[in-house]
Amino acid sequence: MRILTMLMCCILSYSALAETIKINSKNASLQFSGEHAGRAFTGKFNEWQATLMLPPETEPRIEAQFSLASAETGNAMYDETLVEDDWFNVKNTPTAKFVASDIAKTDSGYMVKGELSLRGISHLVTFALTRNQTGLSAEFDIDRLAFGIGKESDPDAEWVSREIGLRLTIPN
Q: Quick one: pLDDT at residue 155?
A: 97
DSSP assigned state of 144: G
Domains of the chain listed by start with CATH number: 19-171 (2.40.128.110)
Q: What is each CA distance from 126 to 16, 104, 165, in whole angstroms?
A: 27, 11, 13
What is the distance between the alpha carbons of residues 9 and 16, in angstroms, rounded to a whole number?
Answer: 10
Q: What is the Cβ-side half-sphere exposure of residue 3, based on CA atoms within 13 angstroms?
A: 0
**Length reported for the chain:** 172
- For residue 9, what pLDDT band results from cuts at 50, 70 and 90? very low
pLDDT at 12 over 70: no
What is the per-residue pLDDT across 16-64, written as a single tens digit (0 to 9) for each?
Answer: 456 799 999 999 999 999 999 999 999 999 999 999 999 988 889 999 9
As a whole number, mean pLDDT of residues 67-77 equals 97
| CA nearest to 167, candidates 24, 42, 40, 21 | 42
Q: Quick one: pLDDT at residue 19?
A: 79
pTM of the model: 0.86
As a whole number, mean pLDDT of residues 59-83 equals 97
